[in-house]
Amino acid sequence: MPTQPNSAALFQYRGVPAPGQLIPLGLQHVVASIVGIVTPAILISNTCGLSPADQTLLIQVSLVITALATLLQLFPLFRRIGAGLPVIMGISFAYVPTLQSIGMQFDLPTILGAELVGGMVAIVFGVFVKQIRPFFPPLVTGTVIFTIGLSLYSTAIRYMASGSNPADPAQFGSVQNWVVAFITFAVVVFFNNFTKGTLKLGAILIGMVVGYLVAWLMGMVSFDSVASAGWFQVAAPLHFGLSFEPSACVSLAIVYVVNAVQTMGDLSSTTLGGMDRLPTDRELSGGIIGQGVISILGAFVGGLPTATYSQNVGIVTVNRVINRLVFTLAAAVLLVAGLVPKFSSVLTTIPQSVIGGATVSVFAMITMTGIRMITSQKFTMRSSTVVGLSVALGMGVTQVSGSLAGPGFPGWVTTVFVLGGAGHHDGHLSQPDPPQGPPGGGGPGPAGGGRHRGGGPGSRARNAVIFLPDAC
């Protein structure tokens, strides 16, 4: 394998490209992934009622975990933990509905505890990937992903309407919030559909920058948290704590299984698009095991679950650049950013209307990814029945509050089989009654206070969890 810097090295996994080629290509992957990394952390922070300091820390950890997950995929440990393929793996939107539901009913430590269990499940799946794979055909996986996309739309709309202060119901749905949201949305759509290259890849980021500037001009941005943030910080192990709820663990474990199949698809797309071959069983197994290992690590430091980034896979299939140093540079940039609280605290100042305007298109892509998987094989009457009934029952049950909470149903049934949180992630935003405390109860803090199990007429967390995966 040649070691001299040259253009051909870009298309070799172990080549050494010239710095002038390496830097822009590496930064391109950073631009394509950054929104997908930080936005889930912001969403979960709001759901769990974290303090500004802990929200900043959660974003920092998201960046660091993404960097470590990517490096693990590029440089496998013991030739078994990691795929050894050019992919970006990081914090994912795929888990957001389930995480928000768990966060609303319980708290952040419960999310992290379920993540630890989910990581173990992913490892087992990776070890037996060859034997398990036939049970998750594209029809099944695509249906789940399609449903995930549908369940996320309400989150995007609530954020588009909420502005910068979700605790103030008087501002919910204001013209100001919708103006900012639609400007952000319009910019994303324009750059995604009418530009090429880096501009197209960075459409979401550009949209958020423009929306942020508009919100700032309208007085919706406060930099108080930035002024108080330091320049260097490392998350202490178990800062947020760990808590284990069987129903939450089962729910997230299901997500991990489905997302493992999605990871297999992304790894296959990478090798087909960039290397003209299918991945080996060892590469698939190592990729999923690595995903599980990094999730276990993330659970101890506050990192959210990870997945391969389909948008970055798309870059590989377009430019066929597979050199691992390109991806190493991207991981290094994310790692440095994650160690600087000043950078992370700036991200916490993004108004929710900007986040909603930018992410609605991401959620739409998740839905369309599911449709593409469903229709990737011959779509028969049997397929139509399977998809139609699955979506009807899955979405129907979640839209009828308490449908599985009547006499005779144990509490865990609601948690495992109801995605009530998908339609009510930030339910307090649309309520006319005075704002109540964050869904974790007890005020801000490392874990957002005590547990909120619902039960009363005013409860915001009657239903709970589940199902799942990614476009990010």
Angle, CA of 131, 132 and 137, to the nearest 5°: 120
Instruction: Report pLDDT for 331.
Output: 93
Q: How far apart are CA 338 and CA 342, in angstroms?
A: 10
Least trusted range by pLDDT, from 121-125, 216-220, 272-276: 272-276
Whether the pLDDT of residue 450 is over 70: the answer is no
- Nearest Cα neighbor of 259 from 365, 148, 363, 359 is 148
pLDDT tens-digit map of 309-337 = 876 776 676 667 788 998 999 899 889 88
Report the number of distinct structural domains present in the chain. Answer: 1
Q: How far apart are CA 263 and CA 290, in angstroms?
A: 11
Whether the pLDDT of residue 231 is over 90: the answer is no
Instruction: Report pLDDT for 116.
Output: 95
Specify if 47 maps to a domain: yes
Instruction: Report pLDDT for 26.
Output: 80
Instruction: Report pLDDT for 462.
Output: 33
Q: How far apart are CA 151 and CA 254, in angstroms?
A: 16
Specify if 309 maps to a domain: yes
Whether the pLDDT of residue 39 is over 60: the answer is yes
Specify if 10 maps to a domain: no
DSSP annotation string for 321-367? ---HHHHHHHHHHHHHHHT-HHHHHHHHTS-HHHHHHHHHHHHHHHH
Instruction: Report pLDDT for 20.
Output: 75
Identify any residues that bridge with 77 across adjacent strands, giving them in sequence order: 81
| Percent of the chain predicted with pLDDT > 70 | 75
Instruction: Report pLDDT for 32.
Output: 66
Instruction: Report pLDDT for 66.
Output: 94
Specify if 444 maps to a domain: no
pLDDT band at 65 (very low <50, low <70, confident <90, very high): very high
Least trusted range by pLDDT, from 71-75, 197-201, 331-335, 353-357: 197-201
Whether the pLDDT of residue 291 is over 90: the answer is yes
Instruction: Report pLDDT for 365.
Output: 73
Angle, CA of 106, 110 and 113, to the nearest 5°: 165
Task: Answer whether 424's CB lies under 8 Å from 460's CB.
Answer: yes
State the number of CA atoms in the 13 A half-sphere of 426 facing the CB.
Answer: 30
Instruction: Report pLDDT for 294.
Output: 95
Instruction: Report pLDDT for 169.
Output: 61
Q: Which two tokens stand for residue 204?
A: 């979401």
pLDDT tens-digit map of 97-126 = 888 888 888 889 999 999 999 999 999 999
pLDDT tens-digit map of 417-439 = 654 334 333 333 333 333 333 33
Specify if 262 maps to a domain: yes
Specify if 312 maps to a domain: yes
Instruction: Report pLDDT for 453.
Output: 36
Instruction: Report pLDDT for 76.
Output: 94
Whether the pLDDT of residue 464 is over 50: the answer is no
pLDDT tens-digit map of 234-249 = 777 888 889 898 888 9
Instruction: Report pLDDT for 448.
Output: 37
Q: How far apart are CA 289 and CA 124, in angstroms?
A: 8
- Tell me the CA distances in angstroms from 81 to 14, 76, 295, 329, 468, one per residue in order: 19, 5, 13, 21, 24
Instruction: Report pLDDT for 347.
Output: 67
- Nearest Cα neighbor of 446 from 35, 95, 99, 111 is 111
- Tell me the CA distances in angstroms from 185 to 159, 177, 191, 208, 217, one per residue in order: 12, 12, 10, 9, 18
Give Cβ neighbours of residue 81 (< 8 Å, ≥ 6 apart).
72, 286, 289, 290, 293
Q: How many helices (H) and strands (E) does the chain have?
A: 19, 2
C-beta contacts of 138-141 below 8 A and 24+ residues apart: 138/373, 138/374, 138/376, 138/377, 139/373, 139/374, 139/377, 139/383, 139/386, 139/387, 141/258, 141/261, 141/262, 141/265, 141/373
Range of the domain at 74: 17-430
Mean pLDDT of the chain, nearest integer: 75
pLDDT tens-digit map of 41-60 = 888 988 888 888 888 888 88
Whether the pLDDT of residue 212 is over 80: the answer is yes
Instruction: Report pLDDT for 277.
Output: 80
Specify if 418 maps to a domain: yes
Whether the pLDDT of residue 179 is over 90: the answer is no
Q: Which two tokens stand for residue 216?
A: 């700032």
| Mean per-residue pLDDT, 441-455 | 36
Specify if 35 maps to a domain: yes
Q: How far apart are CA 51 and CA 446, in angstroms?
A: 7
Instruction: Report pLDDT for 229.
Output: 62
Backbone angles phi, psi at 435, to 5 degrees: -65, 140
